[in-house]
Amino acid sequence: LATMATGALAQDFPGGKPITIVVPFAAGGPTDRVARDLAEALRKPLDGVSIVVDNTAGAGSTIGNAKVARAKNDGYTLLLTHVGMATTPVLYRKLPYNYETDFEYLGMINDVPMTIIGKPQLEAKNFKEMREWIGKNPGKVNLGNAGIGSASHLCGLLFQNELKTEMTTVPYKGTAPAIADLLGGQIDLLCDQTTNTTSQIEAKKVKPYAVTTLKRLTTPALKDIPTADESGLKGFQVTIWHGLYAPKGTPAPVLKKLNDALKVALKDPEFIKKEEGLGAVVVTDNRVEPAEHKKFVMSEVARFGPVIKAAGAYAD
């Protein structure tokens, strides 16, 4: 039996000891939303354990990622993050962690579409007018994101590549503060996940210009928003996947218990209802298996490498 530093037996994990899920972005944002909803769904299969979300933001998620890579490998400190796990190794020439060898991959959670939204004061009534306005104001449009390595940064990069227009990017510790500034008119545009933008769109507080899926979404509040593809950005697609990680060397029985609990959580009707209400799609394929999760992330690093290199969007 693997006896962990805590003296508890891996077999008894979690044994009533609280689990921390590190979210590498500010509270109230889309990554935080997924973590809090998943934590709720993980409690039952983890014997009612309490799960704390620790928002350790900064440097486009790399500070939070590094914190978990260095954490005790006893299963009580986990990381929930998204596509940034695959883009940061390309964007940051030196990272304080190795995405391949410093983590145990616990399985994937969901796929989340993005929306390109504008501040309420924007005159552009649709994607076409917004695109023309950007073209007439090269370098002047303020595009928010959550730092180099964030999903909003990735979408913004691809969006600028397509429009062949530079915008001024404004980084935040997450898209919760970014969307707050959008509502206040401090920034003009933001590409953010539907888990964060659905409520603002529903409340008509922002201008929704496009969704970044190839097919229109079915969520009531989002179903009338045109896709970027039909708006002229042929084939433009950005969906943000999320996964769960533990520090390398976490005992096998603990990893199994965590992955089993994740599988139960992803089938939790409450969790699925919350996710679907925000336009997200819970993983139902084999990406919930650790080996498949890891393989998928490796393939995403390979996919994003050339794209990011072409954009020259390095962090340092």
DSSP state at residue 3: B
Q: Please list, in sequence order, all residues whose beta carbon lies within 8 angstroms of the beta carbon of residue 33, skipping any fewer than 6 positions away.
A: 195, 196, 278
- The answer to the question of residue 88 lying near ligand MLT (CB under 6 A) is no
Question: Contacting ligand MLT (CB under 6 A), which of 10, 14, 21, 31?
Answer: 31
What's the 3-state SS for 223-244? CCCCECCCCCCCCCCCEEEEEE
The window from 72-80, 147-155, 219-227, 300-308 that contacts ligand MLT (CB under 6 A) reads 147-155
- Is the Cβ of residue 23 or residue 217 nearer to ligand MLT in the bound state? 23
Helices (H), the chain: 30-43, 62-69, 84-91, 127-136, 151-163, 175-183, 194-202, 252-266, 269-277, 290-311
- The answer to the question of residue 38 lying near ligand MLT (CB under 6 A) is no
- Is the Cβ of residue 175 or residue 259 nearer to ligand MLT in the bound state? 175
Contacts 24+ apart (CB under 8 A), 221-226: 222/113, 222/115, 222/194, 222/198, 222/279, 225/115, 225/201, 226/126, 226/127
> What single letter denotes the amino acid at residue 167?
M
Judge whether 108 and 296 are in contact, CB under 8 Å. yes
Taking CB atoms, the residue at the shortest distance from ligand MLT is 29
DSSP state at residue 126: S
- The answer to the question of residue 193 lying near ligand MLT (CB under 6 A) is yes
The window from 97-105, 129-137, 170-178, 301-309 that contacts ligand MLT (CB under 6 A) reads 170-178
The window from 131-139, 145-153, 251-259, 306-314 that contacts ligand MLT (CB under 6 A) reads 145-153
- The answer to the question of residue 192 lying near ligand MLT (CB under 6 A) is yes
- The answer to the question of residue 26 lying near ligand MLT (CB under 6 A) is yes
Question: Contacting ligand MLT (CB under 6 A), which of 146, 148, 182, 233?
Answer: 146
Task: Give the number of other Cβ atoms within 10 Å of residue 131's Cβ.
Answer: 20
Question: Contacting ligand MLT (CB under 6 A), which of 87, 110, 169, 175?
Answer: 175
Q: How many chain residues interact with ligand MLT (CB under 6 A)?
A: 15
- The answer to the question of residue 152 lying near ligand MLT (CB under 6 A) is yes
How many residues are listed for the chain in this entry? 316
Residues at the site binding ligand MLT, with contacts judged by CB under 6 A: 25-26, 29-31, 84, 146, 150-152, 174-176, 192-193
